[in-house]
């Protein structure tokens, strides 16, 4: 899509990158720049920089980078047009009419419309007298009519073509319905409803769009729950059920439950800061989204083995991103939905008391392993303390380690120093593992083994480094572009990605436009490609911007371009080899 540079510059001016990112990341001043923990990957040492002078950001840990538009695309999971609209709304600006012609954006808008119509259809079915047994089922489960309307619950009738026919009559095409995962194509080519004879739970994003559905079967069939697969507007790993409601009710704390009914029951009971994952285990992306709205999470998972494993995994994820965790233990193994039904009007008060009495993640884990051993036996004590020491060795805070070591030594009747020696032993082992992984990552990055954006780099390291240096030089010294464009042709580039960026710069120059990160990234690049361009731009240092340095970059590119593989040289005749050597000599001069 085409939007004027002036409009984009005004949009960026009214959405200062430091102010926007400060809404998501805790930043500290570091010289002229700002530094914080990257919101796009797990890290304990900050490597996420904001460069106010160029209105850009870059993470030296994961490679994410770009301008404020790219940041919003990444953090809010939006496409380019949606990110522009997001920033326009924030700044009180209007996106120019006629600019929404981006194909991906159009497809998303269409999918939102189809989902919205489906949600209306399902809700209408639930209110239909013919399906009163389904409404009665929900009312018997303790839900109020007001709650059912609030969450937009519905019913997919026991038919394989009901929704398909409804949407087709509304003018939607079969392929678009299939792409929204509301239907599927059978072997004979016909399209059937994906959901039938199920209570339907609309999944709504933070902007109020219906993006997917969860369907619970009526009765005892399997699968009990059926969820929308990933689509152009929905990804299970980056969304949470009811966060659209919970985000304004958190007060710094979010309850993480296991299922839709648990969430709805807790919201109805007044705990409107409750969310759930969408049929999958908690992901790092979901944890990071939660961390934007709360600094403490209360995990309320089922008491069965699967629920406890999921809780342990979630604890590690939240702790790694710096979110405090507490774990609820509901008496008699009940889930929140059952608990509220059992205690009725007393349920909310009793549940609040359970929250107040809940243990933090370390206490929970220690108690959990303690229940596995008979502490009246010396050998069982040793096993318990060994596992406990491993848990405490994971803590970065030495004060925390000391406090829990004191508790354990008093509880079991051993010297605290013995416990601390064991903790230190496991901590050293953990540090060695972390250090080994760190150096592996450094080697991979240095030798470009893991460069997915520019896969040609690992086999053409010298050429690629020179190409990147040239691009960086051009972006930071735009007045020298005419001279460089005369000397450097696109066929001098060995790596496809760097050639692509060079051609974009050339195009922008011919259009008399500035070739900064914003204009380059607007040329259809993915967010990963934008991150790579930002790294190239931020890697510039003034000492590499001399005329002599520029000539060196060009010389290396020529040398690498004209080098032949050993096998190619073997196939040359004497005259060809002589010409090849003379060409190399000329390049070096």
Residue 244 has pLDDT above 90, yes or no: yes
Question: Domains of the chain: which residue ranges?
Answer: 5-91, 103-232, 243-359, 372-434, 455-588
Assess whether pLDDT exceeds 90 at residue 493.
Answer: yes
Helix axes 103-127, 80-91, angle to 10 degrees: 80
- CATH architecture for the domain at 243-359: 3-Layer(aba) Sandwich (3.40)
For Cα atoms 229, 232, 237, give the angle at the middle one, nearest 5 degrees: 55
Q: Taking 60 as the threshold, does the pLDDT of residue 28 lie above it?
A: yes
> Rounded to an integer, what distance in angstroms lies between the CA atom of residue 454 and that of residue 529?
9
| Of the candidate ranges 118-127, 257-266, 277-286, 555-564, the one whose mean pLDDT is the lowest | 555-564
What tokens appear for 314 in the block? 């979630």
DSSP state of 201: E
Q: How far apart are alpha carbons 469 and 66 in whole angstroms?
A: 18
Is residue 518's pLDDT more than 70? yes
Distance (Å, whole) CA 263 – CA 23: 27
pLDDT in tens, 294-321: 999 999 998 788 888 899 899 989 988 8
Q: pLDDT, tens digit, for every residue of 49-93?
A: 999 989 999 999 899 999 999 999 999 988 888 999 999 999 999
Residue 437 binned pLDDT confidence (cut-offs 50, 70, 90): low
The burial class, CB within 10 Å (0-12 / 13-18 / 19+), for 141 is middle
What's the pLDDT at 562?
A: 74
Phi and psi angles of residue 334, each rounded to the nearest 5 degrees, phi first: -75, 155
421 pLDDT band, cuts 50/70/90, is very high
Residue 152 has a pLDDT of 97
pLDDT at 158 over 50: yes
pLDDT category of residue 3 using cuts at 50, 70 and 90 = confident
Helices (H), 191-304: 243-246, 260-268, 284-293
Q: What is the pLDDT of residue 566?
A: 41
pLDDT at 565: 45
455-588: in CATH 1.10.1300.10 = no
Within 10 A of 364 (CB to CB), how many other CB atoms are there?
20
> Which range is least confidently modeled, 114-123, 124-133, 376-385, 563-572?
563-572
Q: Who's near 232: CB < 8 A, 6+ residues apart?
A: 104, 107, 108, 111, 179
With residue 36 as reference, give the H or E element that holds it: strand 33-36
What pLDDT is attached to residue 564? Answer: 44
Name the average pLDDT for the chain: 89
SS3 234: coil
Long-range contacts formed by 584-587: CB under 8 A, 24+ apart: 584/559, 587/555, 587/558, 587/559, 587/562
CA nearest to 232, candidates 99, 122, 110: 110
Note the pLDDT of residue 57.
96
Mean pLDDT computed over 459-483: 91
Mean pLDDT of 152-171: 96
Residue 586 vs residue 488, higher pLDDT = 488
Per-residue pLDDT at 435 exceeds 70:
no
The CATH class of 5-91 is alpha beta
Confidence of residue 7 (pLDDT cuts 50, 70, 90): very high
Helix axes 378-393, 416-446, angle to 10 degrees: 40
Q: Give the domain 103-232 fold.
A: DNA primase DNAg catalytic core, N-terminal domain (3.90.980)
* pLDDT at 567 (0 to 100): 43
Structure confidence at residue 573 (pLDDT): 62
Say how far apart CA 242 and CA 244 lie, in whole Å.
5
Start-to-end CA span in the chain (Å) = 45
Instruction: Please work out, in degrees rounded to the nearest 5, the angle formed at the alpha carbon of residue 531 by the alpha carbons of 530 and 533.
Output: 65
Residues 6+ apart with CB under 8 A from 185: 174, 178, 191
For the chain, state the CA radius of gyration: 29
Provide, rounded to the nearest whole percent, the portion of the chain with pLDDT above 70.
91
pLDDT score of 570 more than 60: no
User: Is pLDDT of 441 > 90?
Assistant: no
Q: Identify how many contiguous H helices and E strands the chain contains and give both numbers.
A: 27, 16
Question: In this model, does residue 1 exceed pLDDT 60?
Answer: no
- pTM of the predicted structure, to 2 decimals: 0.79
125: confidence class by pLDDT, cuts 50, 70, 90 = very high
């Amino acid at each position: 899509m085409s939007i004027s540079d002036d409009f984009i510059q005004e949009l960026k001016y009214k959405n200062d990158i430091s102010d926007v990112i400060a809404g998501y990341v805790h930043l500290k001043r570091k010289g002229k720049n700002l530094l914080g923990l990257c919101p796009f990957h797990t890290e304990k040492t900050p490597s996420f920089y904001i460069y106010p002078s160029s209105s850009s950001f870059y993470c030296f840990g994961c490679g994410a980078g770009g301008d404020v538009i790219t940041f919003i695309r990444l953090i809010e999971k939006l496409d380019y047009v949606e990110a522009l609209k997001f920033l326009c709304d924030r700044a009180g600006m209007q996106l120019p009419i006629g600019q929404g012609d981006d194909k991906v954006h159009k497809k998303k808008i269409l999918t939102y419309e189809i989902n919205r119509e489906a949600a209306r259809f399902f809700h209408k079915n639930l209110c239909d007298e013919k399906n009163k047994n389904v409404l009665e089922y929900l009312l018997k489960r303790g839900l109020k009519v007001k709650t059912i309307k609030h969450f937009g619950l519905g019913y997919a009738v026991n038919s394989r073509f009901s929704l398909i026919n409804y949407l087709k009559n509304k003018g939607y095409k079969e392929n678009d319905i299939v792409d929204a995962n509301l239907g599927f194509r059978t072997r004979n080519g016909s399209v059937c409803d994906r959901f039938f004879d199920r209570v339907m739970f609309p999944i709504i994003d933070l902007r109020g769009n219906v993006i997917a559905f969860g369907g619970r079967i009526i009765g005892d069939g399997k699968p009990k729950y059926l969820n929308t697969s990933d689509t152009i507007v929905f990804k299970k790993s980056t969304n949470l059920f009811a966060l659209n409601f919970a985000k304004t009710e958190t007060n710094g704390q979010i309850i993480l439950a296991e299922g839709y009914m648990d969430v709805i029951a807790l919201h109805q009971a007044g705990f409107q800061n409750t969310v759930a994952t969408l049929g999958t285990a908690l992901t790092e992306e979901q944890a990071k989204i939660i961390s934007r709205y709360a600094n403490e999470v209360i995990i309320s998972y089922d008491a069965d083995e699967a629920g406890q494993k999921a809780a342990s995994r979630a604890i590690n994820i939240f702790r790694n991103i710096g979110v405090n965790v507490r774990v609820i233990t509901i008496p008699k193994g009940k889930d929140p939905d059952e608990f509220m039904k059992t205690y009725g009007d007393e349920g909310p008060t009793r549940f609040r008391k359970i929250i107040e009495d809940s243990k933090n993640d370390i206490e929970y884990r220690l108690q959990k392993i303690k229940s596995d051993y008979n502490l009246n036996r010396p050998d069982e004590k040793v096993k318990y303390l060994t596992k406990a020491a491993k848990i405490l060795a994971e803590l970065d805070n030495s004060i925390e380690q000391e406090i829990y070591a004191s508790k354990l030594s008093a509880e079991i009747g051993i010297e605290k120093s013995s416990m601390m020696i064991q903790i230190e032993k496991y901590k050293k082992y953990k540090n060695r593992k972390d250090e080994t992984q760190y150096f592996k990552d450094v080697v991979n990055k240095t030798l470009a083994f893991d460069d997915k954006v520019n896969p040609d780099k690992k086999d053409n390291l010298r050429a690629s480094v020179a190409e990147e240096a040239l691009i960086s030089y051009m972006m930071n010294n735009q007045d020298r572009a005419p001279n460089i464009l005369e000397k450097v042709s696109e066929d001098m580039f060995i790596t496809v990605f760097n050639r692509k960026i060079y051609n974009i710069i050339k195009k922008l120059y011919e259009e008399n436009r500035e070739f900064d990160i914003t204009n380059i990234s607007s040329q259809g690049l993915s967010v990963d490609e934008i991150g790579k361009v930002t790294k190239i731009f931020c890697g510039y240092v003034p000492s590499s911007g001399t005329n002599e340095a520029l000539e060196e970059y060009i010389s290396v590119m020529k040398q690498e371009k004209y080098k032949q593989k050993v096998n190619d040289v073997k196939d040359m005749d004497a005259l060809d080899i002589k010409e090849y050597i003379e060409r190399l000599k000329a390049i070096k001069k």
